[in-house]
Structures are given as structure tokens and as C-alpha cells.
Amino acid sequence: MQSAFDVIVVGAGYVGSSVAYHLCLAGVKTALFDRGAFAAAASRANYGNIQIQDMELEKSVEMIRLATRKFEKLEQELDWKVGLRRIGGLLPIENENQWRLMEERLKVVRSAGFQSELLPAERLKEVEPLIDTSGLLGGLYHDKEGQVDPFQFVWGHLRRARQHGLKEFYGVEVTGFLEKSGRVEGIRTTKGDFNAKTVVLCTGARTRLLGKTLGRDWDVQYVLGQAMVSEPIEPALRCHTASASFFEHTGENTAKGAVIANLAISQSPHGHLLLGEAMYEADHFRQDVPYASLPAVSKSVLRFFPSFRKLRILRGWSAPVAHTSDSCPLLGPVAGLDGLILATAFRSTVIISPLVGETVMQLITRGNCDLNIEGFLPERNNKNAH
């Protein structure tokens, strides 16, 4: 079994598959590792939405602006249909505080060149006919967001990477790193040691645990998010709709384990309604769904879409969702540890995946990148950086 590579990528979700694809395309001998299967953690639980309006507003605007362009020829480049389609994005507003937040968000979104609108309640049915506007003040709307099929997206990248030499190791958990004189030279796993000139971590909620094996305390937290999926129905929704209340909740006064829910609803390309989302802070990675989560999701959905009351639900799920204290990703080389790059904890993962794959490839093959990553460097909020 081959055990030495130019680059080892850890994590086979949206970001990891894109990084592996771009490296292989550039002729870099690459291996991809995951403790489970591909698209088996947060990526499998993702709606596949290409979201613009929920961007982090201080440092991430240029990243999102550049990222949207990468989808124009994506299916052509991959020679694979990833379910790409255009849908709208709607953030319904329930109170004056949310209205003020959306006004500020609109200014930044428009300054980046995205033509969002702040619609009054009486116009919401123009963009989402089934929404119940009683109790709503309006909504922030953008008509050119999008959606992909998560599994086809990841598979399309892996399929293409395989054609260019990708080696894959699934069901292999990374337990530590090979380190010498301040340089990471590979990984320790449940299947033995593997050497590489560079290791890239695309490991989401588990990134902090891996960092601690190196004496690092990276700023990565996570919640466990729950959602559910309905039986397929005829096309009913035009938008991905997520309550503006997402931008009010900081989580500071929420007890660990307490379930909170906010509306997040889309219709998949196959007709299923994706219904969410509940979440809670946890100190574990169990995938069981708490008893309180699905009723909380149902209540949240029916407040906005009462016509779905008799919808039949097929199943629910739970997955860890990584985030940082400033809502910006960890992206770039790790200071003081040559040979280690992080690409994880993105606020909205689908939209940035092609750009991030290209960016990591540039860092490895050129030593620099086109995207300004100064505000995303992994050690910026590190409590115990060496």
C-alpha cells in the first residue's frame, strides 16, 4: 500500500473533495483520507444551497464575490451534472430589530455587486407564493442564489480527481501527526503512518481535536444541527427560505444541550422538502436526533408554511456543524508548523468550495494565492499558539 504522497487531504466533504480535485488536476500526487465515507458528516446533512445573503460581512465579502463565478462552468469542467440550478434566497423578517439588521446587510450585499431587495410583507408572495405573511414585516430577497445535489457535487469532484491519480482511504481515522523540527511530515492513523510534504485539514467540527494533538487550540466550535426530509412532492418552493432570526441569535445565553430552532427550508432537485433547522451545543458527536428537535422544526416550518401541515416526513438526521467565534473560516498555512494547511469552518460551505479548492492548490504549488486570506489565517484567534 502506497504510504508517501506530495499532499494528504483529510476530510472528504465539499471542501476536501474540491481541494483533492484541484491538486490532482495540477499534477500533485494526492491522497484523501476520511474516518467514514465521502460526504459522510456535515456535507451529507447539507441542503446544497449556494447562499449569498448570509455571508459574514466584515472579511468575507470578496471571497463570496469571487466564489460565485466558479459555478458558471463547474459542470463543464467536471464533465458531471451536480444538480446545479438557480433558486431564490429569502430571509423573512419578523420584527423591527431584524429589519434593521437586514437593512445593514443589504448595504454590504449590494456593495459587493449582488442585487438583493428588501421587500415589504405584501410582496413576499410574489417570490414565494406559499409563505404565510401574517406576522411578517417583509424579507431580504436575492433571485440568483442556487442549489446543487450534495452527493453529486462531492462525487463529481472525486470522480474527476480519480482520473488524475487520486488515492482514497475511507474508514481510516487520523489520530495524530508526524512532526519533526517544527514541520508536519505526515499523519498517524488507525491504519498506520502516511508521509506527505503537506497535510491539508478539511475536518470541520473535529479540527479542534486534531489541533490539540499538536498543542494548538484552534478557534473551532460546533453545534449539532438537526433537520428532516419529506416525501417528494410537486415543485412547491421557489426559494431557500431561512428566518432572519438566525442573525439575532448569538448563543451566549443558551445552555449546553438546549434545543433552539429557526426556519430553514428548501426543496431538493428531486422534490423532497428539506426542513430545518434545530440545533444544540454539545460535547459529543452522536448522530441521534433529540426528542425535542423534530417538533421544534415542525413548529418553525408551519409558522411560515401552514399548508405543509399534512406533509409526510421520511426521516430526520443530526450532524456536527463547525463555526468560529468571528464567523470566518480557518484558511491558510499554520504559523510555526510548516507543511500544515487548514481549510475548514466555513459559514456557508457550498458556495466557497470550488474557490477554496483552487486557493489551497495555489498555496501548495505557488506558495501564494489570488484570494486575500489574511483575515482567515488559522492562528488569528488561537489561545495557545506556539
Q: Which residue, of 323, 342, 371, is where some domain finishes?
A: 323
Q: Residue 199 falls within a domain, yes or no?
A: yes
Look at residues 307, 323, 339 and tell me which one is the last residue of a structural domain: 323
Instruction: List the alpha helices (DSSP H) in 241-324.
Output: 293-304
Return phi, psi of residue 232, to 5°.
-70, 140
Q: 12 pLDDT band (50/70/90 cuts)?
A: very high
Residue 342 lies in a domain: yes
Structural domain for 365, as ranges: 4-59+151-220+326-381
What confidence category does residue 254 fall into, taking pLDDT thresholds of 50, 70 and 90? low
Residues 135 and 225 in one domain: yes
Q: Are residues 319 and 349 in the same domain?
A: no
User: Within a domain: residue 50?
Assistant: yes
Residue 383: per-residue pLDDT: 54
State whether 312 and 337 are in the same domain: no
- Tens of pLDDT, residue by residue over 144-154, are 999 999 999 99
- pLDDT of residue 382 exceeding 70, the answer is no
**Contact yes or no for 187/8 (Cβ under 8 A):** yes
Tell me what percent of the residues of the chain surpass a pLDDT of 70: 97
Residues 308, 349 within the same domain: no
Q: Does residue 65 form part of some domain? A: no
- Residue 354 lies inside a defined structural domain of this protein: yes
Query: Do the bridges between strand 138-147 and strand 167-170 make them parallel or antiparallel, or are there none, so unpaired?
Result: unpaired
Beta-carbon count within 10 A of 60 CB: 22
Q: What angle do CA 186, 369, 330 make, to 5 degrees?
A: 60
Q: How far apart are the first and last CA of the chain?
A: 35
- How far is Cα 53 from Cα 90, in angstroms, rounded to an integer? 9
What DSSP line would sit under 88-123, residue for residue?
Answer: EEEEEE-SHHHHHHHHHHHHHHHHTT---EEEEGGG
Same-domain check for residues 44 and 185: yes
Of residues 363, 372, 312, 374, the one with CA closest to residue 341: 363
Record the cell numbers describing residue 169, joined without a space: 482511504
Q: What confidence tier does 252 reach under pLDDT thresholds 50, 70, 90?
A: low
Statement to judge: residues 162 and 297 lie in one domain: no
Q: How far is CA 14 from CA 68, 149, 240, 275, in A?
A: 15, 11, 19, 21
**161 shares its domain with 139:** no
Which CA distances in Å does 283 have to 35, 48, 63, 321, 330? 19, 26, 31, 13, 21
CB of 147 within 8 A of CB of 85?
A: yes
pLDDT band (50, 70, 90) for residue 259: very high
Element at 125 (helix H, strand E): helix 124-127
Closest CA to 94 of 53, 48, 132: 132
Structure confidence by residue, pLDDT tens digits, 336-372: 999 999 999 999 999 999 999 999 999 999 999 999 9
Please tell me whether residues 37 and 155 are part of one structural domain. yes
Q: Give the total number of structural domains in the chain.
A: 2
For residue 369, give the 3-state DSSP assignment: coil
Return the pLDDT at 3. 87
Q: Which of 323, 348, 373 is the last residue of a domain?
A: 323
Contact call for residues 201 and 341 (beta carbons, < 8 A): yes
Beta bridge partners of 146: 50, 86
The answer as to whether 159 is a domain residue is yes
* pLDDT tens column, 176-227: 999 999 999 999 999 999 999 999 999 999 999 999 999 999 999 999 999 9
- 386 found inside a domain: no
Kindly indicate the confidence band of residue 257, based on its pLDDT and cuts at 50, 70 and 90: confident
Residue 68: pLDDT above 50? yes
Give dist(CA 17, CA 210) in Å, integer.
Answer: 19
In this predicted structure, the answer to whether residue 228 has a pLDDT above a threshold of 70 is yes
Examine the domain organization and report whether 208 and 344 are in the same domain: yes
Q: Percentage of the chain surpassing pLDDT 90?
A: 90
CA distance 208 to 219: 7
Whether residue 319 sits in one domain with residue 262: yes
Same domain as 90, residue 165: no
- Is residue 11 a part of any domain in this protein? yes
Q: What is the pLDDT of residues 128-187, one digit of tens each?
A: 999 999 999 999 999 999 999 999 999 999 999 999 999 999 999 999 999 999 999 999
Residues 80-99: tens digit of each pLDDT: 999 999 999 999 999 999 99
Would you call 166 exposed, middle or buried from its count of C-beta atoms within 10 A (0-12, 13-18, 19+)? buried
297 and 240 assigned to the same domain: yes
- Average pLDDT along the chain: 95
3-state helix, strand, coil in the chain (%, to 5): 30, 30, 40
| pLDDT-derived band at 384, boundaries 50, 70, 90 | very low
Q: What is the CATH number of the domain that holds 242?
A: 3.30.9.10
CATH classification of the domain holding 173: 3.50.50.60
